[in-house]
Structure formats: C-alpha cells, structure tokens
Amino acid sequence: MGEPMDINGPNTNRAPEAELTETENELYDRQIRLWGLDSQKRLRTAKVLISGLSGIGAEIAKNIILAGVSAVKLNDHRIVTEEDFCAQFLTPRSAVGKNRAEASVERARALNPMVKISVDKEPLVGKKAEFFAEFDVVVIIGALDSELLRINEICREKGIKFFSGDVWGTFGYCFADLQDHSYFEDVVKHKVVSEPKEKTKTEVVTTTIQKELKFPSYASISQLDVNSPTFQKKLKRTGPAFILLRILQMFRNKHNRDPSYLSRQEDIKELMRLSQELISAPFVPSDMLEYVFSQISPSAAVVGGVLAQEIIKVVTKKEAPHRNVFLFDPETCCGFVETVGVH
C-alpha cells in the first residue's frame, strides 16, 4: 500500500527523463494541474504508432498529440476519398486521391509543434516485429482479424501496449491488451482527528497505492464462443453491441472492406446472413444494421476520445484502465465497458 511512484516513462529500461523546459511547462500547464508533473514527464517519453487514419484515427491522433507525447507515427496505405470527410478532419478536401497519412500530417503537426510526427505509407502486412519494437503504444484501426492477431502477438512478445478500435456508422468499439499492467490510484479516506470526548472531526487523507491488472490477448474477443450459455445470459444485460462488432469484423475479413453506402441493401443482406452464421439466437435487430455505414463524426469523436484517454492513462500509469472492451451502442447512444476473456 502506498508504494512511491517512479517517474520513468513507459519503457522502464530507459533512463529517467529530463525536466520539462519552460516552454513545455507553459504549454502543458493546464494538464499538469490535472494529472501532475510526473505524469506529463511520462507522456513526454512515449512513442505511439497510429495505423489507420480514418475519422476515429484522426480523433486519437489529435488527442494524443495535444497531450504532449514524444513522437507519433501515422501509418496508412489507403487514399483519401469523399467518404473520409464524414469524420476525418485532418485531411483537407483538396487531398482526395492522395495518401491518407501523408494528407493528415500537416494539420497534425500544427496541433503541437513539440511532438515529432512522421508518416509511413506502407501496408501493415509487410511490417515485421522490428518495426513495432520502437513504440511504447501501438494503435491499429481498420485491420482484418488476421493482422490484429499477428500484431497483438508481436506486442505481447515485445511488452508493447496494444489497442485496436473502429467505428462503423454510429457504432464503435475499442479494445486494450496491456498484458501485465501496473498503475497508481489515489484512495481517499476520512481520518478522525478529534479527541475521544470532543465532537467528531475528520480530515481527508489521500494515499497513493499501486495496483496491477492482467489483460488477455485480442484472441479473447475474436475467438469468443458467443453461443455459450454464459455469454447468452450476458447478452440479456448488455444487448447486442458485442455481436454487432463480431459481425462487422466478419464482413471485413470476408470482403476485405467495410459495408458501403454504395451497396447498402446488398451489404445489409450479407450482414444478416453473417449474423445467422455467427449466433443461433437472433440477437441483432435488422434495423440496427441500418446505422453501420461510413464513420459518423460524433461517434468517431466519442470512441476516439475514449481510446485516446485510455492511452494517456496507460502511459501516465494514473487510474485504472478499461478492461478490456469499450462498446458504443448506436441504439442507445451510450457506451459501456465489457470485460471479455478475463478469467
């Protein structure tokens, strides 16, 4: 209880970071007041990969860059299309047909000139373990299950914090595999300071304690048996959001694309067919599938904001992270955290 907090960055093998400059102290003054100087120093050492510069990817990049990490690499092999302008605010309209990461870098750098921002235009499929080893946090958006599983396994071997996330229309999710993660939490207690025969007086005492959590791999959600009696009982409480996630990922795995408004009716029929293939009970209402096209800006902002906040919590080691899936339900417009694959 109450172990002292170290001030090293995310990678504990690195040397302790230098003091913040006067300019950095001025720039990050408000957030230093929020989460403390030690947390800002940890952020200052963090190197983050964000792969997939869709609307949610842009939202994550914006929040992480403004927070003041050391470096961000923007990776995307896709080109900018008209559909991106539903939620992707880092690419100008003149960038249609250009590489999405390259088109995003100018506005990204303008957010915070103190963060080193670089671009990678190559597909993730060709990236080996050495590429990911230089990062403290890896965020993957818009990938097939096969790639998510492969990269997650590399991150587990290298001790890198892994996140995935996505938005389909108004529905979205984010997933975290932090392996063995330690964090610090403030526990507030009321201590009696009055004498025995006096009127009871108390004062607030805050103690910082260290806690640990274990996280399962991405396979815990991609290979979960959704027809098991245990999960079926959970569905009655949480609703069909997790099932929708699996159906949409199945669609992407099969067709190497997401449902498109250009083939709306055909894709809805395919999603319904996949839902019948996935789960024996009809837990996904057909009208729910009407809202999974493109990326809608408010949902990208919510899910991207949540995922970025989780990255900040993980890097700063402040507060308990979500374990391990956040789902944004398009029917209720509410988000909730679901613990999947944790025994």
Q: Are strands 161-168 and 325-329 parallel, antiparallel or unpaired?
A: unpaired
- Are the C-beta atoms of residues 48 and 137 closer than 8 Å to each other? yes
Q: What is the mean pLDDT of residues 62-69?
A: 96
Distance CA 328, CA 192 (A): 43
Q: What is the mean pLDDT of residues 263-286?
A: 85
- Predicted local confidence at residue 136, as pLDDT: 97
Q: What is the mean pLDDT of residues 181-206?
A: 85
Q: What is the mean pLDDT of residues 40-58?
A: 96
Using pLDDT thresholds of 50, 70 and 90, give the confidence band for residue 343: confident
Least confident of 195-199, 257-261, 317-321: 195-199
Among 38, 319, 297, smallest CA distance to 311 is for: 319
The CA–CA distances, whole Å, from 5 to 68, 141, 204 equal: 21, 33, 21
Least confident of 9-18, 44-53, 72-81, 163-172: 9-18
Average pLDDT of the chain is: 90
Say which residue, 198 or 129, is predicted with more confidence.
Answer: 129
Residue 175 pLDDT > 70: yes
Residue 340 pLDDT > 60: yes
pLDDT 10s digits, 2-23: 343 343 445 534 444 568 888 8
pLDDT 10s digits, 80-105: 999 999 999 999 999 999 999 999 99
Distance CA 56, CA 59 (A): 5
Q: Which residues, in sequence order, are CB contacts of 293 under 8 Å at separation 6+?
A: 168, 169, 259, 260, 261, 264, 267
- Predicted local confidence at residue 16, as pLDDT: 46
SS3 for 39-63 is HHHHHHHCEEEEECCCHHHHHHHHH
Phi–psi pair at 235, nearest 5 degrees: -60, -35
Q: Which residues, in sequence order, are CB contacts of 331 under 8 Å at separation 6+?
A: 239, 285, 288
Q: Which residue segments constitute the domains of the chain, with CATH numbers given? A: 22-179+297-338 (3.40.50.720), 181-214 (no CATH), 218-290 (no CATH)
